[in-house]
Amino acid sequence: MKISSWNVNSVRARIANILNYLKTSKPDILLIQEIKTEEKNFPFTDFKNSGYTSHVFGQKSYNGVAFLSKINIDKIDIKFFKDKNKQSRIIVGNFKYKSKIITLINVYVPNGNPIETEKYEYKKYWYNAFIDNIKKTLKKNKNIIIGGDFNIIPEEIDVYDYKKYENDALFKLEMRKKFRELINLGFQDIYRYFYKDDQEYTFWDYMAGSWQKNHGMRIDHFLVSNDLLKSVKNVNIDKKQRSKIKPSDHTPIELNLN
The alpha helices in the chain, defined as continuous H runs, are 15-25, 44-49, 118-140, 173-183, 190-194, 210-213
Residues 6+ apart with CB under 8 A from 118: none
Average pLDDT (202-211) is 96
For 163-193, the pLDDT digits (tens) are 999 999 999 999 999 999 999 999 999 999 9
pLDDT above 90 for 208 = no
Q: How wide is the angle at C-alpha 234 spanned by C-alphas 231 and 238, nearest 5°?
A: 140
Domain region containing 184: 2-257
Rounded Cα gap, residues 220 and 83, in angstroms? 21
Q: Give backbone dihedrals phi and psi of 90, rounded to 5 degrees, phi first.
A: -155, 135
CA-to-CA distance for 31 and 246, rounded, in angstroms?
20
pLDDT band at 255 (very low <50, low <70, confident <90, very high): very high
Rounded to the nearest 5 degrees, what angle is found at the Cα of 255, between the Cα atoms of 249 and 258? 165
Query: Chain-wide mean pLDDT for the chain?
Result: 98
DSSP state of 207: S
Distance of CA 50 to the CA centre of its chain: 22
Cα 93 to Cα 181: distance, rounded to the nearest angstrom: 23
Determine the pLDDT at residue 160.
98
The pLDDT assigned to 68 comes to: 98
Instruction: Compute the distance between CA of residue 5 and CA of residue 19 in angstroms, rounded to an integer.
Output: 14
Beta strands in 142-252 (DSSP E): 144-149, 187-189, 203-204, 216-217, 220-225, 232-237
**H or E segment to which residue 30 belongs:** strand 29-33
The vertex-166 CA angle with 163 and 171, nearest 5°, equals: 115
pLDDT band at 36 (very low <50, low <70, confident <90, very high): very high
Sheet holding 29-33, edge to edge: 53-57, 65-69, 29-33, 2-7, 253-257, 232-237
Q: Following CA atoms 46, 50, 51, 57 in sequence, which dihedral angle do they give, to the nearest 10 degrees?
A: -40
- Rounded CA separation 193/129 (Å): 26
* Residues 174, 55: Cα–Cα separation, whole Å: 33
Number of domain units in the chain: 1
Neighbours of 148 (CB within 10 A): 27
Tens-place pLDDT, residues 55-86? 999 999 999 999 999 999 999 999 999 999 99
Average pLDDT over residues 210-217: 98
